[in-house]
Structure 1
Amino acid sequence: MDALSGLLAGPRARGAFILRSIQSPPWSVRVEDAAPLSVVALAHGTAWIIPEAGAARCLSPGGVALMRGPDPYTFADTPSTPVQTVIRPGPHRMTPSGEHLREVVDLGPRTWGNDIPRDATVMLIGKYQMTGEVSHRLLRALPPVLVLPRHPQRLINPVGLLAEEVVREEPGQQVVLDRLLDLLLVTSLRAWFAQAETGAPAWYRALSDPVVGRALRHLHSDPASPWTVSALASKVGVSRATLARRFTQLVGQAPISYLADWRLDMAADLLQEPEVTIEAVARQVGYASASALSTAFKRERGISPQQHRARFRTRSEAAKQSP
């Protein structure tokens, strides 16, 4: 597994909040739900994204926007349209003054809006509601707001697939929608990382380096190996000092420090699976025992693996019970 594959393997929607929003001008919706990651695809019309800080961005049909929480943001027909609806955790739709919004029209399965004219803007909205559904490493790699235009040569059209499925009511529908949301996110991220001008993290840019790129591939292909800087340098054919200096310069971390972070990120994801023991997780990510993993996990994240697993389970159950 290469570094990018490892990153993209993380997103796993579980009962994700997914809906279709149909809005007729003038409209403006401010989102304050604090979701760790929101994915919005534009199926029809145009929309402006107004972040809490920074310039407004225009989203065109087929385009996708990713918003990293918990900062609020606004979608509107124009940047100057006053906010009409505020989305709070739950999700709950409110007026700007804080009253529950009653005049929003229910337009069918997973669909709401203010009208259904032919020229309305149609948005597909997906929410990763818990931090455990997307890795900390992925969230750290993303800017607060990322806008990607439609890719005309993409063989798979996840926006079209999601638009077709979101209005269906069939057995297993939530699982299908979860996987389509993951597909939309992963294909969007892959397109962003492939852009030459992207503000990708240092470790991704370092993949093109003939020395550090090979070292990163070794670490990601076999994270459980008892790596030392000397062993890694031998694998890539340079001296220990050369690898340590070059790796730190390009990645921003020493090799073993980077590996430790990657192991803990992997462990955090694996701990979401209740049937996998902590001992098994420890061995899979390169720790000699559950105790060794627990010590490192608590030192870096402030909680034990057991507490991390319990916190994820509690949030997962709460999300399932939300209206």
Structure 2
Amino acid sequence: MDTLTGLLDGARAREAFLLRTVLEPPFALRIQDEAPLSLVTMLKGSAQVIRDSRITLNPGDVAVICGPQPYTVADDPATPWQTIIHPGQVCTTVDGTPREHLGVRSWGDPSGGGTELITGTYQLRSEVSRRLLRTLPSMLVQPAAGTDRTLVGLLSAEMGRTAPGQELVLDRLLDLLLISVLRSWLAGTPTWHDPIAGTALRLLHAEPAAPWTVAELARRAGVSRSLLARRFTELVGEPPMAYLTGWRLALAADLLRDPSLTLGAVARQVGYGSAFALSAAFKRERGLSPQDFRRHSPDMHFTAYDPGPSPVVVLA
């Protein structure tokens, strides 16, 4: 499994929420829907996206916003909130009055404002995606020059239709837009391209069930054990074997959602010699047994996010 496949496998859109918003300045939307992952694509005009820091989106720009923390989309940081987006995509005025939609997947100024944007949100359940999304900045922006305009045009056109299979088409188009931004980000991320740490990461992701040791990873990377351990820890933030444990248990958590797999089968797929060994590691890491996790997993949501040292990244 390569990095992008792992990141997106659980983030694949399924009946994702999509909304075209048409606004006339001054405007300020407070987004507190608690979505773990959102895409904001500017079609016309410009807007400020404000969280801990601030970015400006112009036509064609795409922002990936990670984590459930609230953010604001406004024409100016000084503009007071007028509309609040709540969990479940309930849209109200600041005093709680429901806002009416303009039509199919569309909301805003009925006269046609000077600003137009598309927002798409994902609800994530995959532990693999949850783990890998922690490596993303809080806000990631792809300028118009790097955005596939044909893809944005298709998404915009499809949003106004009600043809059979429309939800599936929109989900896949949203996925493709997300992939295009994340591929650009990964291409510029040094960790995954480092000849030492990157090699080890690719090996662990490709063969998580293999009997890896630091010595074997170092041999495959062509360096000493001490250099591999030091370089990996510096770039990834934890030692190789600790990363492998977390990766295996994330894979196991996703596999546990399949009721047809026994605990022993899950253990073998992620590199544990027995169901007992997996249970012990799983409970030590997560505080509950695999059986308890399996029983409660349908109700679990992505609730924590660490944006890391770089809260905003603008791709070249």
Task: Report sequence identity in percent.
Answer: 52
Unaligned runs of 5+ in 1: 317-323
1:264 positional shift: 1.9
Q: Counterpart of 2:223?
A: 238
Is 2:177 the partner of 1:184?
yes
- 8 Å contact 1:105–1:114 — kept in the other structure? no
Specify whether residues 112 and 271 from structure 1 end up closer, same or farther in structure 2 by C-alpha distance, changes over 3 A only.
Answer: farther
Equivalent runs, 1:1-323 vs 2, <5 Å: 1-51=1-51, 53-54=52-53, 56-97=54-95, 99-101=96-98, 104-117=99-112, 119-132=113-126, 135-152=129-146, 157-195=150-188, 200=189, 205-314=190-299
Gaps (5+ residues) in structure 2?
302-316
Quote how far apart the aligned CAs of 1:34 are.
1.1
Cα pair distance change 1:255/1:134, threshold 3 Å = closer
**Root-mean-square deviation (CA), in Å?**
2.5
Q: Which amino acid aligns with 1:267?
A: A
State the shift of 1:73 in Å: 0.7
Summarize the Cα distance change of 1:226–1:141 in structure 2 as closer, same or farther, 3 Å threshold.
same
Change (3 A) 1:208 1:64: same
Contact 2:13 2:174 in 1 (8 A): yes
**Cα 1:164–1:297, aligned 2, differ >3 Å: closer, same or farther?**
farther
Letter in 2 for 1:110: R
- Shift in alpha-carbon separation, 1:76–1:273, aligned structure 2, 3 A: farther
**Conservation of the 8 A alpha-carbon contact between 1:49 and 1:74:** yes
Aligned residues of 2:186 and 2:192 also touching (Cα < 8 A): no
- Structure 2 vs 1, CA of residues 149 and 253 (structure 1 numbering), >3 Å: closer, same or farther? same
Cα distance in 2 for residues equivalent to 1:185 and 1:296: 33
> Who is 1:321 aligned against?
none
What letter is aligned with 2:290?
P
Question: Relative contact order (alpha carbons < 8 A, sep ≥ 6): 1 or 2 greater?
Answer: 2
Deviation string 1:42-62 (CA, Å, 9 cap, x unpaired) is: 1222111121x22x2111111
TM-score with structure 2 setting the length: 0.84
How far 1:248 moved relative to its partner? Answer: 2.3
Using the size of structure 1 for normalisation, the TM-score is 0.83
Kindly provide the CA deviation profile for residues 276-316 of structure 1, in whole angstroms up to 9, marking residues without a partner as x: 44443332222223333333223222333344444442469
- 2:38 aligned partner, one-letter code: S
Q: Measure how far apart 1:180 and its partner are.
A: 1.8
- Note the alpha carbon deviations across 1:245-289, whole angstroms, 9 max, x for none: 332233322211111111122223334445444443332222223
**CA offsets per residue over residues 94-147 of structure 1, 9 Å max, x none?**
2223x222xx34222111112242x53221111112443872223211222222
**1:287·1:293 contact (CA, 8 Å) conserved in 2?**
yes
Change (3 A) 1:263 1:284: same
Q: Please state how far the C-alpha of 1:41 moved relative to its aligned partner.
A: 1.0
Matched-pair contact (CA < 8 Å) for 2:125–2:300: no
Secondary structure, in 3 states, of the residue corresponding to 1:42?
A: strand
